[in-house]
């Protein structure tokens, strides 16, 4: 397994004014309002050509040889798994109050990634589990009248998911919609009368309690963003043009911006946008804890699309709170914007750590052809404003390093956040084997996929409600139970905040 810290070129390069905009869609977008004005339709021939190139490249990328498929780690996976059955699943908590700025990228994680510092590993897993919670608590059931909502209210969320160990309390839920070509993953229930026809639960804001705040050296506001239901869906639905943010030359992917900024007064949950919801809550928490004389930080996390929304969130927060320490820890996130977007995040002091897997295709998108690798041709082409660039440092993992994971092209399983957390937990350095004292339960990898070797006898996709959520009533008939009143989504209930 190799960890790669990619050097970031932070020199700001003026964008070429010679780019032809005649065929670009006319869009006005800013962090104050999201308005779309469609002009000329996208060229069908150009779209087909781009998709053809992407498909050809996908066939070429990461084609494993027969030898690599048959190679196995010398370690006995079954014996290792059985030896851990009576051991704790989390590493001991250490006091990081004196080094929290380094843990959160104060020096761009220099000398902390390879080898991976044990305290950094634990913090990365903590935020990764916050991101995973957005999937575990999401109502995926298309037959549920609350499809698209969170299964639990915010006071019960961490308790239901076993995350109280981290010492955070959820203070606010975030809901999102899109005004732009609603993708399949935003479609709702088969049931006609659903809890919301427009919005989806997209994440939450949490804040560290007194004990955790003392351990980590400040009051930490954490924001977790959910990714798409299926990565293959955003891969198909989100390959769009870069569009201006409304500030300078920074541009971001249009679909991501739409989800982050869209709102409509006729909806129940998105009279304000996801952007407005999260920023209002961060502002409220900052005011509350600053008045108590506390030091506060903002840490934003997300997986896949959630990682993209995390960067947009960090960009906006850096504008509104210029002195607030802001860091992003993302997992399997795609590219979001152009070089100007990357540079502005750097100049505003936002620290970003991207955790990626070598075999995962999602971090290669969008811009599988037109990405930061073209920067080497700047002398010939000038800076290309429509080229995608990743942001921040990278911790690159490798599926082949784990003796517990299957080899092959299971792109869905490779992309799942539990696969990421498993590999982070076992990573030591680029020249070390998978650590034998890794703590997380290996069975978690197969929650929603089939990535574990068959010898472990862990069923694939085992994480589901018993009997598909049906229960036997007093007459012995199988029925869908009603949610407890406190777990039924309610905009009024969401407004009743407490600290």
pLDDT value of position 187: 57
Q: How many CB atoms lie within 10 A of CB 327?
A: 26
304 is catalytic: yes
Fold designation for 27-39+71-495: Rossmann fold (3.40.50)
More confident residue, 326 or 262: 326
What element of type H or E holds 278? helix 274-290
Question: 274-290 vs 254-261: helix axis angle to the nearest 10?
Answer: 60
pLDDT tens track for 332-377: 999 999 999 999 999 999 999 999 999 998 998 885 545 445 454 4
Residues 6+ apart with CB under 8 A from 88: 439
CA 454/CA 459 separation, integer angstroms: 9
pLDDT value of position 385: 58
pLDDT value of position 26: 39
> DSSP E strands: which ranges in 422-486?
471-472, 478-479
For residue 410, name the pLDDT band (cuts at 50, 70, 90): very high
75, with CB counted inside 10 A (0-12, 13-18, 19+), is: middle
Concatenate the DSSP letters of all residues of 69-130 into one string. HH---SS-HHHHHHHTTTS-SSPPP---TTTHHHHTTTTTTTTTBTTBPHHHHHHHHHHHHH
Active-site hit among 139, 360, 425, 487 = 360
Active-site hit among 304, 318, 327, 402 = 304
Q: How many CB atoms lie within 10 A of CB 224?
A: 27
Mean pLDDT, the chain, whole residue set: 81
What does the block give as tokens for 158? Answer: 């961490």
Closest CA to 246 of 344, 349, 365: 344
The length of the chain, given as a count of residues: 499
341, with CB counted inside 10 A (0-12, 13-18, 19+), is: buried
Ordered by start, the domain boundaries in the chain are: 27-39+71-495
pLDDT tens track for 150-185: 999 999 999 999 999 999 999 999 999 876 554 554
pLDDT tens track for 142-156: 888 888 899 999 999
360 is catalytic: yes
pLDDT reading at 227 higher than 80: yes
CA 164/CA 161 separation, integer angstroms: 8
More confident residue, 433 or 16: 433
For residue 424, name the pLDDT band (cuts at 50, 70, 90): very high
Active-site hit among 117, 303, 390, 415 = 415
pLDDT value of position 469: 84
pLDDT reading at 471 higher than 80: yes
* pTM (two decimals): 0.82
Q: Determine contact, residues 300/327, Cβ cutoff 8 Å.
A: yes
φ/ψ of 206, rounded to 5, equals -135, 160
More confident residue, 481 or 167: 167
Q: Determine contact, residues 108/328, Cβ cutoff 8 Å.
A: no
> Percentage of the chain with pLDDT > 70?
73
Closest CA to 168 of 125, 221, 118: 221
pLDDT tens track for 98-156: 999 999 999 999 999 999 999 999 999 999 999 999 999 999 888 888 888 999 999 99
For residue 6, name the pLDDT band (cuts at 50, 70, 90): very low
Q: How many CB atoms lie within 10 A of CB 211?
A: 10
pLDDT value of position 186: 52
466 is catalytic: no
């Amino acid at each position: 397994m190799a960890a790669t810290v990619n050097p970031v070129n932070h020199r700001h390069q003026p964008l070429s004014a010679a780019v032809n905009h005649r065929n670009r869609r006319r869009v006005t977008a800013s962090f104050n309002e999201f308005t779309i004005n469609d002009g000329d339709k996208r060229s069908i021939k150009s779209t087909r050509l781009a998709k053809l190139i992407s498909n050809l490249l996908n066939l070429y990328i990461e084609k494993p040889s027969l030898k690599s498929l048959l190679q196995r780690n010398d370690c006995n996976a079954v014996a290792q798994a059985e030896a851990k059955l009576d051991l704790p699943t989390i590493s001991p908590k250490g006091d990081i109050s004196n080094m929290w700025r380094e843990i959160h990228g104060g020096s761009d994680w220099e000398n902390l990634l390879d080898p991976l510092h044990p305290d950094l590993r634990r913090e990365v897993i903590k935020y990764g589990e916050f991101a995973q919670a957005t999937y575990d608590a999401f109502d995926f059931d298309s037959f549920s009248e609350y499809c698209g909502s969170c299964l639990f209210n915010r006071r019960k969320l961490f308790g239901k998911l076993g995350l109280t160990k981290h010492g955070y309390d959820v203070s606010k839920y975030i809901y999102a919609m899109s005004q732009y070509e609603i993708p399949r993953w935003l479609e709702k229930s088969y049931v006609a009368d659903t809890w919301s026809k427009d919005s989806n639960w997209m994440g939450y804001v949490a804040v560290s309690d007194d004990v955790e705040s003392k351990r980590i050296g400040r009051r930490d506001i954490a924001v977790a963003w959910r990714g798409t239901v299926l990565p293959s869906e955003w891969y198909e639905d989100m390959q769009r043009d870069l569009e201006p943010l409304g500030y300078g030359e920074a541009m971001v992917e249009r679909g991501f911006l739409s989800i982050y900024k869209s709102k409509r007064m006729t909806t129940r949950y998105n009279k304000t946008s996801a952007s407005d919801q999260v920023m209002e809550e961060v502002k409220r928490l900052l005011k509350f804890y600053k008045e108590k004389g506390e030091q506060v930080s903002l840490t934003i996390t997300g997986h896949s699309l959630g990682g993209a929304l995390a960067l947009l969130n960090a960009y906006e927060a850096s504008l509104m709170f210029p002195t607030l320490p802001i860091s992003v820890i993302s997992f399997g996130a795609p590219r979001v914007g152009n070089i100007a977007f990357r540079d502005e995040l750097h100049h505003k002091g936002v620290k970003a750590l991207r955790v990626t897997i070598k075999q995962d295709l999602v971090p290669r998108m969008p811009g599988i052809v037109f990405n930061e690798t073209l920067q080497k041709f700047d002398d010939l082409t000038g800076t290309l404003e429509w080229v995608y660039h990743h942001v921040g440092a990278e911790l690159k993992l490798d599926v082949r390093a784990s003796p517990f994971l299957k080899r092959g092209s299971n792109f869905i399983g490779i992309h799942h956040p539990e696969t990421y957390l498993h590999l982070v937990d076992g990573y030591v350095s680029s020249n070390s084997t998978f650590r034998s004292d890794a703590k997380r339960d290996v069975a978690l990898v197969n929650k929603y996929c089939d990535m574990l070797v068959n010898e472990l006898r862990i069923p694939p996709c085992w994480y589901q409600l018993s009997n598909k959520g049906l229960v036997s009533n007093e007459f012995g008939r199988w029925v869908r139970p009603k949610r407890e009143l406190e777990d039924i989504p309610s905009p009024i209930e969401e407004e009743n905040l407490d600290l």
